[in-house]
Amino acid sequence: MSNKEKWIEMAQDACKNAHVPYSNFPVGACLVTEDDQVFTGVNIENASFGLTNCAERTAIFKAVSEGYKNFKHIVIVGDTDQPISPCGACRQVMIEFCKPAMPVTLVAKDGSTLDMTLGELLPYSFTEDQL
């Protein structure tokens, strides 16, 4: 099994911990650091809907809060017919911590994948370079 297949499996496994009583739409993420630490994340919803935290942001915030800021890959798994398309807020949080060249693997519920870079997912992004 390749590393990428392992990360996909970890993101799929994480989905069982998604807290999704309102949408019933679990999302799982698996974020890999440059030194091969792995952080999973799930979406965590709230009765006050706007407080929901997406799976990708959960994984990134877990990693950053543990002192990791250099990432080499993220896998995102959705309960979707096509490979999941990450929301705009998560793309913006990804570009805060990850380089445009970082590979992103998007996965559908049947396991089919779409690979692209973060820069392809979020072109002409707003970053600290513009501040």
Q: Which residues bind to ligand THU, rule: CB under 6 A?
A: 20, 23, 25, 27, 43, 45, 52, 54-56, 86-87, 90
Minimal distance, residue 10 CB to ligand THU, in Å: 16
Instruction: Please say if 56 is a catalytic residue.
Output: yes
How far is it, in rounded angstroms, from Cα 60 to Cα 48? 22
By beta-carbon proximity to ligand THU, the closer residue of 24 and 130 is 24
Locate tokens 């992004």: which residue? Answer: 125
**Which residue numbers belong to the known binding site?**
54, 87, 90
Minimal distance, residue 45 CB to ligand THU, in Å: 5
Minimal distance, residue 78 CB to ligand THU, in Å: 7
**Which residue numbers belong to the known binding site for Zn(2+)?**
54, 87, 90
By beta-carbon proximity to ligand THU, the closer residue of 32 and 60 is 60
Locate tokens 């496994």: which residue? Answer: 13
Active site residues: 56
